[in-house]
């Protein structure tokens, strides 16, 4: 069994992958001040709670968009298992042809999602990852990574709206009954959820126009489930796409 670890700006998702199957996924909060000891204890506690022996872990792979935590998580895994985790970055074999201005600047999470998508779906593909930021990117008909777009995530947007105004409250992200809402709270919910769904529909149309053909769209990330059912486009929801991709990348580099 290997640990696949996706270090995001808000949360760290950890999956237990065995023979290509994810048997357990759990999430802990991203906290830069935490030490490697604290992360090791936290991960072990959750594994113990689910009766998973940390001694059964034979490998680990990490994709991180939080550079200060990359080394910390690697050291935490070393403390917990005695294993040196593979970090997605320069020198790691991905099999992904990246055709953007600065391929080295592409995040490990994005690489993992693309690899995971290509393992199960035929290109061209549009991949949408909804987390702290909403990242949308395109794989052409040959599976080449050709670019995409990034917008503020729903939580970031709605919290900024509340923080930057005097009278708008903090509200939970959930869909109201109607797009044309009749009170302030539902109006904010409508803008957040239906606005995000409309943005996704619109960006899919723009991407397909530039591709010159239709593409299958895959959506993932912590906020995806709140939005994709309100989109008018045909979208496949794959909850743990990044962790699947990390499992594949581990096998590519440890045959």
Q: Are residues 7 and 128 in the same domain?
A: no
What pLDDT is stored for residue 253 in this prediction? 94
Distance in angstroms (rounded) separating the CA atoms of residues 91 and 155:
34
Residue % of the chain over a pLDDT of 90: 90
Q: Could you tell me if residue 129 is inside a domain? A: yes
Q: Are residues 116 and 184 in the same domain?
A: yes
Q: Are residues 71 and 196 in the same domain?
A: no
Residue pair 108/242 in contact (Cβ under 8 Å)? The answer is: no
What pLDDT is stored for residue 20 in this prediction? 83
Q: Are residues 230 and 110 in the same domain?
A: yes
Q: Are residues 79 and 156 in the same domain?
A: no
Q: Could you tell me if residue 211 is inside a domain? A: yes
What pLDDT is stored for residue 203 in this prediction? 98
- The residue with tokens 């995040």 is 107
Mean pLDDT to the nearest integer, 148-161 = 93
Q: In what order do the strands lie in the sheet with 11-18?
A: 21-29, 11-18, 2-7, 59-64, 86-87
> Domain range for residue 63?
2-87
Q: Which residues contact 172 (CB under 8 A, 6 or more apart)?
A: 189
Q: Are residues 186 and 213 in the same domain?
A: yes
Residue pair 71/14 in contact (Cβ under 8 Å)? The answer is: no
Residue 67 phi/psi, 5° resolution?
A: -50, -40
Task: Tell me the per-residue pLDDT of 67-115, one tens digit each, with 9 for 90 and over.
Answer: 999 999 999 999 999 999 999 988 899 999 999 999 988 999 999 999 9
Task: Tell me the per-residue pLDDT of 104-134, one tens digit each, with 9 for 90 and over.
Answer: 889 999 999 999 999 999 999 999 999 999 9
Task: Tell me the per-residue pLDDT of 189-241, one tens digit each, with 9 for 90 and over.
Answer: 999 999 999 999 999 999 999 999 999 999 999 899 999 999 999 999 999 99
Q: Could you tell me if residue 250 is inside a domain? A: no
What pLDDT is stored for residue 191 in this prediction? 95
pLDDT category of residue 12 using cuts at 50, 70 and 90: very high
Q: Are residues 64 and 140 in the same domain?
A: no
Q: Are residues 65 and 148 in the same domain?
A: no
Q: Are residues 238 and 120 in the same domain?
A: yes
Tell me how far CA of residue 8 lies from CA of 53, 66, 179, 221, in angstroms. 25, 7, 31, 10
Q: Are residues 44 and 108 in the same domain?
A: no
For residue 201, indicate whether it is catalytic. Answer: no
Number of independent structural domains in the chain: 2
Q: Could you tell me if residue 216 is inside a domain? A: yes
Q: Look up residue 187 and give its two tokens.
A: 């109006």
Q: Could you tell me if residue 255 is inside a domain? A: no
Catalytic residue among 101, 102, 109, 234: 109
Residue 31 phi/psi, 5° resolution?
A: -145, 105
Does residue 169 surpass a pLDDT of 80? yes
pLDDT category of residue 188 using cuts at 50, 70 and 90: very high
Residue pair 221/65 in contact (Cβ under 8 Å)? The answer is: no
């Amino acid at each position: 069994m290997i640990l696949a670890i996706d270090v995001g700006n808000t949360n760290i998702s950890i999956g237990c992958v065995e023979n290509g199957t994810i048997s357990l996924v759990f999430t802990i909060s991203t906290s830069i001040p935490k030490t490697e000891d604290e992360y090791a204890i936290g991960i072990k506690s959750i594994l113990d709670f689910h009766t998973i022996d940390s001694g059964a872990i034979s490998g680990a792979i990490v994709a991180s968009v939080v550079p200060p935590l990359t080394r910390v998580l690697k050291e935490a895994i070393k403390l917990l298992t005695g294993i040196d985790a593979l970090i997605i970055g320069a020198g790691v074999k991905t099999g992904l042809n990246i055709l953007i201005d600065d391929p080295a600047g592409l995040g490990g999470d994005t690489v993992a999602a693309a690899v995971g998508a290509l393992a199960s779906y035929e290109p061209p593909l549009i991949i949408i990852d909804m987390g702290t930021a909403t990242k949308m990117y395109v794989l052409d008909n040959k599976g080449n990574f050709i670019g995409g777009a990034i917008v503020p995530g729903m939580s970031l947007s709605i919290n900024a709206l509340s923080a930057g105004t005097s009278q708008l409250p903090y509200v939970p992200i959930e869909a109201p009954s109607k797009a044309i809402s009749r009170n302030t709270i539902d109006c904010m919910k409508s803008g957040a959820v239906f606005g995000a769904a409309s943005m996704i529909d619109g960006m899919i149309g723009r991407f397909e126009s530039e591709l010159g053909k239709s593409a299958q769209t895959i959506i993932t990330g912590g906020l995806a489930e709140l939005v994709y059912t309100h989109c008018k486009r045909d979208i496949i929801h794959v909850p743990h796409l990044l962790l699947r991709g990390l499992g594949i990348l581990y096998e590519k580099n440890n045959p």
